[in-house]
Every structure is written in structure tokens, then in C-alpha cells.
């Protein structure tokens, strides 16, 4: 794993946006795996700036990791709305294909299967990840086993509490979500995970330097050959200098 520690989230966002821009620029029909959450906001700000002539996006496909179940796409906290607001609505040319799981599908099992087929048809060149305070990636929550495929997940209490900051109260946070499984993440050619702030310091140390464990889903990234962990000083605090 490569570890890059930046002074500010802005610098970290610019570094990561440059990595994505290179893929958009040089890879024919690039496929970007995208994430939501506070950690990726500076990344999308910089990516909009770096690709403002728009042509880079014409042949691109984006595949998001996850979506809440039961929120309309227009709900202010849906991940569809997050992506439109922070990225897609700001681009001159939209990606050729934009995929985000449909958390309102009547048949959720069919939606999961359909999403896996989409990922099989579009192998991901570069996957962006955030990390939950409990080590979740996408919405793959800590458990005694991890699902390899796209699935419906019941969110853990700590995830509901942590994401309540985006809602009026924790009662309004959906209890379930659709997420891609660990297979889709680990099959991406390259992975960049972003984490900032002291609240992530402990889980980052356990993700990078601890055992590979299903109750720390992000520790699975140790099994991948091309992972970069992008941090600030606060989230890197518990890592040894080596
Ligand atoms: C949500 C998303 C995760 C993301 C996490 C981190 O739970 N489902 O994919 O990694 O938020 O969020 P933040 O960057 O706001 O800490």
C-alpha cells in the first residue's frame, strides 16, 4: 500500500483529482468507480476544475458504490443527488454512462444482479473509496463474513449515527442500503481511499497495519496490489513513521 499524507483536504483532493484526470485523459473508454461522503467533496471540486473543457468525460463510465434504500433520487441526501450536486451537474459534458444503484427498485434482488452485470461489462480502472468510522467501504459493514456481490445491507448503529450529521436527525437515516460487494472493489485495477480527521485515525491504523479481518472490511485492501491511502496529519496520527 502507498500512503500519502497531505497538509490539507484541498491538497489531497487535488492529488486524487489529478490521478482521475490522468485516467480520463489517457485511458480509452475509462471506467471510474466513485464514492460519496464528506471526504470526497474536495476531490470532486478539483476534478470539476481540472476537466472544465469537458471533453475528457465524453467516453467515460462512472459506477457508484452504493445508495440508500427508500430515498427518492431527488431526496437531498440520496447519493444520486450528492453526485449530481458535487460532480455531474457541474460538468460541461456528462459521462457517457452514469450508474448508481437504484435504492427504490421494486425488486431489489434483481437490481443487485443487474448492477453486478454492469460491473462485469465495465471493469473499473480506478476506484475511489471513503471509509466509515467502523471500517466499512461502500456500505460493506463489519461482520463475520463479507458479501462478494452487490447486496442489500442493514446499516450498523455506528454508521447511522455517523451519517446522521447529514440528516435532520438519526431517525431519518435510512436503515438499509444497496452496496457493491468486496469483489467489485478488489477487482478494480487501482484503488485510492481517502480519510481525513482524527475520528478516522484509529480505523486507518487498523486498516493498514492490522490483520485482514471481516470486522474491518477496509483491511481487505491489504490484499490488493495497487492501493493508495490518502490522508491528512490527523487521520495519519496513529501510523508509525516507518
Ligand atoms: C458513507 C458511504 C461510504 C463512505 C463513508 C465515509 O457511509 N456509504 O462509502 O466511505 O460515508 O464518509 P465520510 O467521508 O463522510 O466520512
CB distance 30 to ligand 1 below 6 Å:
no
**Annotated catalytic, 158?**
no
Ligand 1 pocket test target in 9, 12, 36 with most atoms within 8 Å of CB: 36
pTM of the predicted structure, to 2 decimals = 0.97
How confident is the model at residue 211, as a pLDDT? 96
Average pLDDT of every residue of the chain: 96
Convert the pLDDT of each residue in 190-232 to its tens digit.
999 999 999 999 999 999 999 999 999 999 999 999 999 999 9
**Annotated catalytic, 66?**
yes
Measure Cα distances from 209 to 39, 132, 144, 205, 242 in Å: 21, 17, 20, 6, 11
Number of residues that this document lists for the chain = 242
What are phi and psi for residue 141, nearest 5 degrees?
A: -85, 155
CB distance 101 to ligand 1 below 6 Å:
no
The confidence band for 49, taking pLDDT boundaries of 50, 70 and 90, is very high
CB distance 219 to ligand 1 below 6 Å:
no
Q: Which residue's CA lies nearest to atom 10 of ligand 1? A: 130
CB distance 132 to ligand 1 below 6 Å:
yes
Please identify, by atom number, the ligand 1 atom nearest to the C-alpha of residue 40.
14
C-alpha 86/C-alpha 97 separation (Å) is 17
Amino acid at each position: 500500500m502507498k500512503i500519502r499524507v497531505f497538509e490539507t483536504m484541498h491538497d489531497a483532493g487535488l492529488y486524487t483529482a489529478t490521478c482521475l484526470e490522468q485516467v480520463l485523459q489517457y485511458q480509452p473508454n475509462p471506467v471510474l468507480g466513485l464514492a460519496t461522503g464528506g471526504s470526497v467533496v474536495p476531490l470532486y471540486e478539483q476534478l470539476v476544475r481540472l476537466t472544465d473543457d469537458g471533453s475528457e468525460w465524453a467516453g467515460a463510465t462512472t459506477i457508484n458504490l452504493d445508495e440508500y434504500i427508500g430515498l427518492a433520487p431527488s431526496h437531498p441526501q440520496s447519493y444520486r443527488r450528492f453526485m449530481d450536486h458535487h460532480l455531474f451537474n457541474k460538468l460541461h459534458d456528462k459521462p457517457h454512462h452514469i450508474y448508481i444503484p437504484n435504492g427504490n427498485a421494486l425488486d431489489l434482488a434483481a437490481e443487485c444482479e443487474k448492477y453486478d452485470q454492469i460491473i462485469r461489462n465495465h471493469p473499473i480502472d480506478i476506484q475511489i473509496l471513503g471509509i466509515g468510522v467502523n471500517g466499512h467501504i461502500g456500505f460493506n459493514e463489519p461482520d463475520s463474513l463479507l458479501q462478494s456481490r452487490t447486496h442489500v445491507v442493514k446499516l450498523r448503529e455506528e454508521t447511522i449515527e455517523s451519517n446522521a450529521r447529514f440528516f435532520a436527525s438519526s431517525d431519518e437515516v435510512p436503515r438499509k442500503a444497496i452496496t457493491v460487494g468486496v469483489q467489485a472493489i478488489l477487482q478494480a485495477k487501482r484503488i485510492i481511499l481517502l480519510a481525513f480527521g482524527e475520528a478516522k485515525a484509529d480505523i486507518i491504523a487498523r486498516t493498514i497495519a492490522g490483520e485482514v479481518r471481516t470486522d474491518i472490511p477496509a483491511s481487505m485492501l491489504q490484499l490488493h496490489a495497487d492501493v493508495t491511502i490518502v490522508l491528512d496529519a490527523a487521520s495519519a496520527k496513529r501510523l508509525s513513521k516507518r
